[in-house]
A and B are shown apart, each in its own frame.
Chain A
Amino acid sequence: MTEGIPFNVPFLAVAVMVGIAFYIIISQRNLIKLVMGLSILASGVNLFLITLGYREGGVAPIYTHTPAGIMVLPIPQALTLTSIVIAVACLALMLSMVIHIYRHTGSTDSEKSRLMKG
């Protein structure tokens, strides 16, 4: 395992996650499944941000009781922190709107709750 991974496996995992999330958003009609697809998309983007900043054989960029060695990049980890908090806030708002739509129309189908018919 000292020569590393032969080709970019984590970037392929990100491509598969984003592809599955876009397929869910296009083709599903239930509102809860739409929200799940958006959450998978947010997780895929967070994974992409973290794997951009990995150095071969590195340790965490913290100086308290750390072993010697080169450190991984700290800036993508800071951007991922912000992205996770924003995803949680958007998920809370989306789920409360789904509760309100269910109270008004009585079903969670997105075809039955359109305002403009015709």
Chain B
Amino acid sequence: MSKIVRTMSSLLVLFVFIYGLYIIMHGHLTPGGGFQGGAVFASGVALLIVAFGSNNIHKSLKEHHLSVLESSGALIFIGMAFGGLAIVFFYNFLVGSPIFGHIPPSGPNPGDLWTGGVIPFMNIAVGLKVLAGLSAILLVMALATTIMEVEE
């Protein structure tokens, strides 16, 4: 792609990443959550692949980095589920404790970030999993189709 496209996309991709992480982190207060924020982050990675070419992106972002991210997201999700095993499998054991444990007043209110119990940790874990998975799918399919064009 030309020089104008490469310069502008490398400036704009930071705003897309921050917007995706904002949607993941505020999942228990506003519409959104882990799945939606991970999809927005993966669309930022798609912008980078289209602007710079998949061979240049593959020099610094290999598949085993993304594999480590996805596996750690799955392990954090299972770990939070096993934490409340004293009562029931998916018990919310952090409501009332000092970490993320405030209880909001009932009815309409301005949101408080420290509420939610186990839910913000689960949002972060699912967000990591979705962004690593969708980025891996995009990178592998872009690499396979450019090599196919060079052979013919």
Interface residues of A (CB under 8 A from B): 60, 62-68, 81, 85, 88, 92, 95-96, 99, 103
Contacts and interface: CB of A to CB of B under 8 A. Distances in A.
Interface stretch (B53-61, B64-72, B85-93, B137-145): B137-145
22 contacts: A60-B31, A62-B30, A62-B31, A63-B107, A64-B29, A64-B108, A64-B109, A64-B110, A64-B111, A65-B108, A65-B111, A66-B108, A68-B108, A81-B33, A85-B35, A85-B130, A92-B137, A92-B141, A95-B141, A96-B141, A99-B145, A103-B148
B79 interface: no
Interface size grouping (class) on chain B:
10 to 19
Contacts of A85: 35, 130
A73 to B, nearest CB: 15
Contact of A63 (B35, B108, B130, B137): B108
Contacts of A99: 141, 144-145
Interface in B73-106: 104
Contacts of A95: 141
Interface of B: 29-31, 33, 35, 104, 107-111, 130, 134, 137, 141, 144-145, 148
Contacts of A67: 108
A105 B70 CA distance: 35
Contacts of B33: 81
B5 to A, nearest CB: 26
A91 B48 CA distance: 22
Contacts of B30: 62, 64
Nearest to A85: B35
Nearest to B141: A96
Given A65-B111, A96-B141, A99-B144, 11 more contacts: A62-B30, A62-B31, A63-B104, A63-B107, A64-B29, A64-B109, A64-B110, A65-B110, A85-B130, A92-B137, A92-B141
A89 to B, nearest CB: 8
A63 B31 CA distance: 11
